[in-house]
Structure formats: C-alpha cells, structure tokens
Structure 1
C-alpha cells in the first residue's frame, strides 16, 4: 500500500524547494506507483505555494532546470544527515515528469549504480502464518472476514484483514504463534485488547485467552505493542536471552532479532521495567551479549519508523543497514571489495521496490547488483 503520509511529506519538501537529492529520488520512485488522482491532489494541495515564486517552469525548460538542480551531488550521505539542498527554481507537475525521466535514464546508463540482472523485488506485504494450539496452521493472507476458530473460551476472528482475539481464559492455556517470515508484516489484537504489530522475520507466542494474574507473551524479531491497561494483571514480554519486560499499560517497541548482537526496548509512552530497570518515555534499554543494560534517550519516531512505513538510519554501517533490507525484501546480501564502514543516516519509504531504495543509497557511490534474490554490494 502506498505510504500516503510519506508521499505528502516529500511532495511538500519538493514544492518548498528544500528537498535533498535523495528525497527527490525517493519522491520520484513513489510517484511512479501513485495513481494519477493522487498526483493531482498533491498538486492542488501545494499549488498555492507556486504563487510566491518568480517563475513557472515551461515544458521545454523543465529538463534543463532539473539538470541544474541535480548535476552537483551532495556530500556522501554516510558521514552525516542528507543535508538540505536549496532548489534553484520553482517546481511544477512538469518538473516531476522530467525528474522521473532523468532518474530512469540514469539508472539505465552504463554506469548505473544499481544493476538489475533479474526481476526487481517488491516491498514486504501484509502476510503471516498462524499456528494454533492443535498445531494446525492458517495462512492469514487468504483468510476471509469472520469467525475462524474457537479455542476454549477464545474466539479467533478476521476483521478487516486483522487478526482479532476475544474471550476470557478458563484456567487452561492454549498457546498460539503468529510468524511473519522475511518479506512480510502483520498486526493483531490479543484477547485483552492489546494491539501488536510485527515486523518482517518476527514471531509472537501468546495465549488464545489470558488466564491467571498476569498476561505473558514471547517475542522474536521486532514488534510494537500498545498494551491494554489492566492494573491487576501486568503484561510481560519475554525476549531472547531471557530478558523480560513488565508493563501495566503503555506503548513500546522491541527489537530482538536472533542475528543481531543486541536487543533494544524503546518506550513511547507509559512505564516499563526491563530486568529491574525502569524506563521513562523516550528512553531505550539496549542489552548486549554480556547481559549489561545501557539506557539512553532515543528518538521514538525512529524506533517505530518501520511500523509507520520507513527505513530510518542514524549513523548505521552498510552491513547493519543491509540486514533490514534483507529482511524486508527477503533477499540474501553479499559484499564484494572494500566497502566503507562509515555510517549512513536518512529516511526512506519502505513502499519502494528494492532497486529504488538501493538507488537512493547509491548516492554515496556504493554500487549494487540485484540477481534474483541475491543483492551484491560493491564499492
């Protein structure tokens, strides 16, 4: 699904003449997949800003002006934020078309930074598999709205493509597991009203209905929780490495992939406790292999950017960055040659095809080759 919020944000930057070359590239890639009425709506919303400009771009001048705007690349993006880039001319719908043609021709040139040997990879989709207490498995992308299964006092329903549990426990615990796999994401509502979003290559093990004096679940991968408040029954999240998060009612993000050497819990609102350490909103608890916990203040929007449809990198090496790319597009990544270890910072829509994301990253003169489900990163 098109990330409308990100598209509007980039379009506004473009009209305000503050978009960076990387943001322009992302905007053109998003517009390639946007319906005509969306483009018309964006132009109407932002069009009044054109009245403040001195010139309106004529069709025969659009491409020349675009070349002026983009002919000088910014400083390599891995060393600092993609810096603001003042656009030297007014923008219009005509310039958007010229920009896309320029990007398309650039990608197809001999020195194209992204080579697509086989088919391009589409972004992740909304899909998961549900394993019930009797070991039966349901593919959720084909499930229809309505009652799917009864498990004791718990009912499992599909409501507007979202998995919803209702009911109360009767003493017996029936465990279910939902798994997204690489290239997928999903969300569900637990029987207590808690909402959970799962990122790619993640799983959640939970009771069909909560019983007893606490609500306990297990997470692998990445998940965002909006926990229903119940002062009499704390909510507990068990992570890999035996770390445990205790909650009463709050919103937080958990990053706990098995192929990472750390776990991170970021509190958005409320209060949580991880291994006897209390977190305040805006704080992140990061644990390493030695079980030590470091608590810092972090940008919560960055922590949950994946849920809102973005990749958001802050001084991240290409090796770490490509782990996110690999999970989201379900590809294998290999490295050739002497690849820079300097950090990348920036934000990119997760709605883009893989080649478009790599094209934006290649502004740092890193090259990529897509061959089926294998991506090669080269200097």
Structure 2
C-alpha cells in the first residue's frame, strides 16, 4: 500500500469515527513528517470530501473527543485526554496541531487563536453568520496580454486563452494559469501582467516552469518567453516563488517598492516568499529553500534557507535575519492567516486585503495576537476568534470593520 493510499485510508477511518488511537497517531506522524507529499490544505480537502456523508450534523462532543485522542496519542505524557492544552510556540505544523486543526476545520468548528504571549487553544461551536457578513476572498485575477487585452480569469472557463508568439496560455483549472513554450523562441519579447484584486489570489506557471502564487492586491509582470541571459519578472504586492533551476539563466525578481525605488532578488533555483505591499513599512524576503541574493542600491545580502531580509522603506536600509518563521511567511499560500505576535494594525491589514474591507479604528487598541485562522471562512468568524482575547471588539457595517477596545 502506498503512502497516499494509507493516508486516504486513515482519513476515511477518521471520517467514519472508526479510527483507533494507533491510527490517529499514525495520521498525525504522516502529516508531521511530510511523507505524504500533501500540504495541510490538501489533507483538509480530503477530509472535507469524506466528512459530509459520515457526519452530516456537527457533534461537539464527538469532535472534542477526537481532538483529545489525537493530542493524547501524539504526546501521551504531556497531554491528558479531555484537557485543553496550550499551543507550543515556534512549531506551527506540529503533528497534533495539524491533525486536530484539519479534523475540526473540516467540520467547520475549530480555530486556533491565542493571546500574546500564550493562552489555551480554543475550540468553539460555529454560530450563524450575521446578515452583513463579508465572504472570504478567492481565485480572482485579471490577465493583461501584450496588446492590452484584459481577460477576467475568475469568469473565464478552462482551456486555451491566447497564443503569444510560440507560447500558449491556458487555464488548466480554477485559480491556475499555465504558459507552455514551444522550444527556444526568438523575436520580440512580449510581456503579460497578472493582477489580483483585494480579496483575490491566483497561481501561474511561467514559460520556464517556475511556479508563482500571487496573493491579494498584487501584480506580476513577466515575458511570455525567457529569451535573454536572465529570467526577469517584476512584482508588486506579495508572491511565493518555486523557481525552476537553470544555472545558465539566473531568475531575478524586481520588487517595486515605490514609484522610483526597487529591490532585486536574484536566484538560480529556490523557494522563497516576497511581501512588498505599499501599506507595509518593510519589504520582506523569506527563503524556504536554496539561496538568494537580495539587493537594494549598494546593499547586498545573501540568504540561506531559513533566513530572511527586510528592506526599511523609510531609510532603505537592508537587514538580514536568521531563523525566521518561514511558516508564517507562506501561511497565506497554504490557506491560513497566521499571526505571530502581530499588533492589531498589522493583523487588520492582512484581513483587509483578503476580505476587501475598510478598517476604521474608534480608539487605539493595544492587542497583540498569535495563532492560526483559516482564511476560507466569512470575516465574522475571524473577528470572533480575535475577540476571544478580550482586548478588542469588532462591528461589521457593510464593507467597513469598526475596531474598538
């Protein structure tokens, strides 16, 4: 039996409420060891597929028991059955947290949020959303072709979208764009632009095989064929890159930080995240795998896996950071809002971009947050979890979020 088949079996056992303690522990260990090749989001989707038929109604007692059994199976000496336990910091994808989070996320009732610096994990029952709730973002983007034609990707069906020289542009599935280059192309370079609105995200595979995940309110400009000595793209906003290796043709990201200033990230083949929003004070590059060089003016920083670089947009100083939280940097790509000691302003900027809302403060709020919230739920559920800290209150008025102490 393959690992994938074993995973499907274990997920089925959980969905049918038939999993033994040993099977719960095995599921937990498989996810934590990343042996399955599945991301946390993919495992959640497996659970969502199986759960409706097996558990049509939410059973709070049952899910509480499942959570306790998984926690007990993962750490029997530290986590007694039936007790709510604190999340352990700096291990966001630990086996127990993943297993419990995925199981209860799939039933729509589990959220992790803890007050800075530490508080218990919270499991709550989902309540009806208010009438003026705001839906989460989704796969929304506009593709701008070289001739200026705009293609709204969220309302366009799958299939071939355009032919640009020797490069074919297709939409293989919802939320995905694919460029297929036929051999070594020559001639004039054509540029396309992929633009996501607030509340949008999209994934594109570039002509060289590089995969890019574009977050909300972001723009990526790139050629339809990489004919030169380098592979150069231009980014504004946030994106996660998995660069196709090509030592003879370095990949470079020109990061726009203002109308006149920019930063450059140069790589050969690696995985990294860049966050460069106009409303953020810092431009952050986080390296998950490989090596990159970040440059701004005369400043240059070489990053290794697990390191990050930040560019201060006030004085344009470039700083290197060791042992950064890579999971926090790419949480958005994996379907989560992850808060690591964020103050209310930085947390609300994340929420405003994804839910396309305006944030209004009635008074200063000193709250800080740490935890993980799925971003595929209405905004009322996110705000409810943040209110559990007791330091902040929210009111939804149309597309406005009113924040008060």
Is TM more than 0.5 here? yes
Structure 1: how far apart are the matches of 2:368 and 2:114?
Answer: 8
Q: What TM-score results when the alignment is normalised by the length of structure 2?
A: 0.70
How many angstroms does 1:82 deviate by?
3.4
Alignment check: 8 A CA contact 1:127 1:140 kept: yes
Q: Secondary structure at the match of 2:244?
A: coil
Distance 1:205 1:376, change over 3 A: same
Alignment check: 8 A CA contact 1:250 1:271 kept: yes
Matches within 5 A, 1:91-106: 100=125, 104=127
How many angstroms does 1:148 deviate by?
1.2
Q: What TM-score results when the alignment is normalised by the length of structure 1?
A: 0.74
Query: Is residue 221 of structure 2 the alignment partner of residue 198 of structure 1?
Result: no
Q: Secondary structure at the match of 1:122?
A: coil
Query: Is residue 368 of structure 2 the alignment partner of residue 355 of structure 1?
Result: no
Q: Secondary structure at the match of 2:346?
A: helix
Q: Secondary structure at the match of 1:239?
A: strand
Matches within 5 A, 1:1-379: 36-37=52-53, 39=55, 46=66, 49=69, 77-83=114-120, 100=125, 104=127, 116=130, 119-161=132-174, 162-167=176-181, 168-240=184-256, 241-275=261-295, 276-289=300-313, 290-296=315-321, 297-340=323-366, 342-365=367-390, 366-379=392-405
Deviations 1:264-314 (Å, cap 9, x if unpaired)?
000000110001311000001011021211111212111101000111111
How many angstroms does 1:48 deviate by?
11
Q: Secondary structure at the match of 2:302?
A: strand
Which 5+ residue runs of structure 2 have no aligned equivalent? 1-10, 26-44, 74-79, 83-112
Number of residue pairs aligned between Structure 1 and Structure 2: 311
How many angstroms does 1:234 deviate by?
0.3
Alignment correspondent of 2:96: none
Alignment check: 8 A CA contact 2:214 2:240 kept: yes
Q: Secondary structure at the match of 2:119?
A: coil
Distance 1:182 1:173, change over 3 A: same
Q: Secondary structure at the match of 2:262?
A: coil
Deviations 1:300-354 (Å, cap 9, x if unpaired)?
11110100011111111101110000000000000002322x4211111111110
How many angstroms does 1:244 deviate by?
0.1
Question: Which one scores higher on RCO, CA 8 angstroms, separation ≥ 6?
Answer: 1
How many angstroms does 1:245 deviate by?
0.3
Alignment correspondent of 2:42: none
Alignment check: 8 A CA contact 2:220 2:233 kept: yes
Distance 1:35 1:122, change over 3 A: farther
Q: Secondary structure at the match of 1:243?
A: strand
Structure 2: how far apart are the matches of 1:84 and 1:77?
Answer: 6
Structure 1: how far apart are the matches of 2:153 and 2:221?
Answer: 16
Structure 2: how far apart are the matches of 1:165 and 1:211?
Answer: 14
Q: Secondary structure at the match of 2:154?
A: coil
Structure 1: how far apart are the matches of 2:283 and 2:238?
Answer: 9
